[in-house]
Amino acid sequence: MNKKIIILLITISIAFCQLCHNSCATCNGNVCLSCSADHSQVDPNQRTCVCQSGYYASSLNPLTCNQLISGSKDNQCHIDMALNMANFYVNTDCYYYTENAGQSGSEANYIRSDISIDTSHSQFSEADCRSYVVTHIQYQPKGNNSGNEDVDYVDLPAPKNGGSYLSNLPGGKSGDQRIQIPLIDVYGLANSQTVSADGNQIVQILNYRILIGYSGTVLRSHRWQSTVFTNRNQVQTFTVDVDIQRTQGCQPGQNCIIVADLDVTGKQYKSDWVTVNSGAQYTVGDILYLRIWFKDATYTKQLSFQQLFFLNDSGQVFDYTALCDPVATAWNHNDKSLHVQLPLVEPSLSATIQVNMKIETADARLRRLQTGSDTTSQQFSVSVASAPSNSSNQTNTSNSLIVLFSLLNLLAIVILI
């Protein structure tokens, strides 16, 4: 009886050992030779099947292998972009450009906007993934004011003479673009336009947005305005970001990375350049003292003053560069900030001052080396009241006239007598 039991157990054991694992397609005894599931392979012990590298088992019975999201470089860069997109810095530089300047009959005037995406504020893998960054620029036509951004903003039309207003930014990276609009076309593309009574002054505002992401997916939208102020034959431009850059005003606890090349800040001061003038209330004739510096105090580069624009209540933009004190407006090595000194000559309840600067090293400044890409700007809000009338002078003038008339009356009486 015991002998029969032993033989039965041995037979059962052999039978089980000869069974294939359900993930194996073919077996030789208890050795797995091939697999039935896609993207699977025989394990090193040749007992069963496992998923190949880059795949995971979503089911064991039957074995089903799905691709890991990190198994593709495309997907890795897409994830990297999504995680860091909020800290990308959108740099918009709007300016007036004349093609074939000085060549009579061949000159062409344009409003240019250079848009670059700076990822160095984040932990984005620039070297490996920058080529995956895709951008798309749109504008807001006049009358599109529903409040729904995706409805109000549409693609720029094609110019009448063919081609496109958009092109890749020369010397830029993937996603950097340039908008170049002939001055004559600004009228048709502006979201709003104001013309003075004499027709000499025209204020036109262009509303733009840039969609940033990768092929087929938008991760972020950034909006800005370009104001074009035309005063007879002079044209000035002024750029204001509608969206606050994600790297500005970083709150405690947030994962923000500050890069000095683009991150500057500034304040208004009194004449000693030390006492902060927090009120920002001025009168025509007052002097405005501004200081601008890098947020990273250890940064070794310096700021070079380029231009100063004044945007008044009416939306008019004036170039006040020539009004700035040429001696006081310079980089100060003691407090490591750019000093700007400007006399206020126009009343405005709510004015915005934009200082355009170039970032450069001390050596580059001495050798007069300039690089077009290293530019930045800082804006200040001020309120400038009209200069009060001089009542004491008016009183003295009135008193003098009264005395003069009295003397004349006296003289007339003497003559009559």
pLDDT per residue rounded down to tens, the chain (417 residues):
555 544 444 444 444 444 567 788 888 888 889 998 898 888 888 888 888 876 767 777 788 887 665 445 667 888 889 888 888 999 988 888 888 766 666 678 899 999 999 998 888 999 999 999 999 999 999 999 898 899 999 999 999 888 999 999 999 999 999 999 998 899 899 999 888 777 777 888 999 999 999 998 898 999 998 888 877 666 777 776 665 554 444 444 444 333 333 467 888 999 999 998 877 789 888 899 999 988 766 667 788 999 898 888 877 778 888 889 999 999 998 988 999 999 988 888 888 888 888 887 655 444 333 444 467 788 888 888 886 655 444 444 445 444 444 554 555 554 545
Q: How many CB atoms lie within 10 A of CB 161?
A: 7
Helix (H) and strand (E) counts in the chain: 7, 25
CB 225 within 8 A of CB 146: no
Contact 154, 141 (CB under 8 A): yes
Query: Which pLDDT belongs to residue 105?
Result: 65
pLDDT of residue 251: 46
- The tokens for 388 are 């009060």
Unique residue bearing structure tokens 């800005």: 224
Q: 153: closest CA among 64, 218, 100?
A: 218
CA distances from 105 to 100, 101, 192, 276 (A): 9, 10, 30, 52
Model pLDDT, residue 259: 37
Q: Domain ranges in the chain?
A: 2-67, 69-259, 262-386, 391-417
* Cβ partners under 8 Å of residue 196, min gap 6: 202
Residues 16-22: contacts with CB within 8 Å, 24+ apart? 21/47, 21/48, 21/49, 22/61, 22/62, 22/63
Nearest CA to 246 out of 117, 115, 353, 376 is that of: 117
Q: Is 316 exposed, middle or buried (0-12, 13-18, 19+ CB in 10 A)?
A: buried
DSSP per residue, 342-389: EE--S-EEEEEEEEEEEEE-HHHHHTT---TT-EEEEEEEEEEEPPPP
* Secondary structure of residue 105 in the 3-state scheme: coil
CATH topology of domain 262-386: Immunoglobulin-like (2.60.40)
d(CA 385, CA 109): 36
The model's pTM is 0.53
Pair type for strands 375-385 and 281-283: parallel
Q: Which amino acid, 57? A: A
| Nearest CA-CA partner of 211 in 226, 222, 224, 196 | 222
What are the tokens at 19? 């069974």
- Per-residue pLDDT at 406: 52
Phi and psi torsions of 136, nearest 5°: -145, 125
Distances (CA, A) of 258 to 120, 263, 273, 298, 354: 9, 7, 26, 12, 22
